[in-house]
Amino acid sequence: MRRRTGWFLLLLSLLLSGCATLPDDDAPFVTLSHIEPLALTLLEQRYRIQLRIQNPTAAPLSIAGMSFNLDMNDRRFARGVTNQAVTVPAFGQVLVDTQLNSTVFQVFEQMRHWGSDEGEAFRYRLSGKLFSKENGLSIPFVSSDEIRL
């Protein structure tokens, strides 16, 4: 009986770990669509951002919330979280309006290195996790782009 229980638990853990991640082809795409300053204070800055979430699968994707970081020119710039629930239709997309925050130190770090990077390019990297409504699992995402100045 113990042996069966052990095999059952091993099989169950393998199945659950396999469901915890999606193949790269099935992972949602999350990109930065818009950013604008909301409030600039001495120690903190808030920005309104719009994220585009695209679902490349044949099943709807129900999201309970997300966490994300925005890096600019390979340096941490801001981070945010949202508990906004959305459902991305199969082979569809949605726009999510939310906010992110940066500190004065992160802004000064960006300004200190502005123009000193090779090639005078502006690079950003958006990374984070979407949290599934159905099973609470997280789905990681990363997107980046570069604009030549």
Per-residue pLDDT of 2-54, as tens digits, reads 555 444 444 444 444 444 444 556 889 999 999 999 998 888 899 999 999 99
Q: Which domains does the chain have, with CATH numbers?
A: 23-148 (2.60.40.1820)
Torsion over CA: 111, 121, 34, 94 (sign): negative
- pTM of the predicted model as reported, rounded to 2 decimal places: 0.74
List of residues 6+ apart from 88 with CB closer than 8 A: 28, 53, 54, 55, 60, 61, 63, 94
What pLDDT band is residue 117 in, cutting at 50, 70 and 90? low
Residues 6+ apart with CB under 8 A from 4: none
Rounded percentage of the chain residues whose pLDDT exceeds 90: 52
Instruction: State the average pLDDT over residues 72-83.
Output: 90
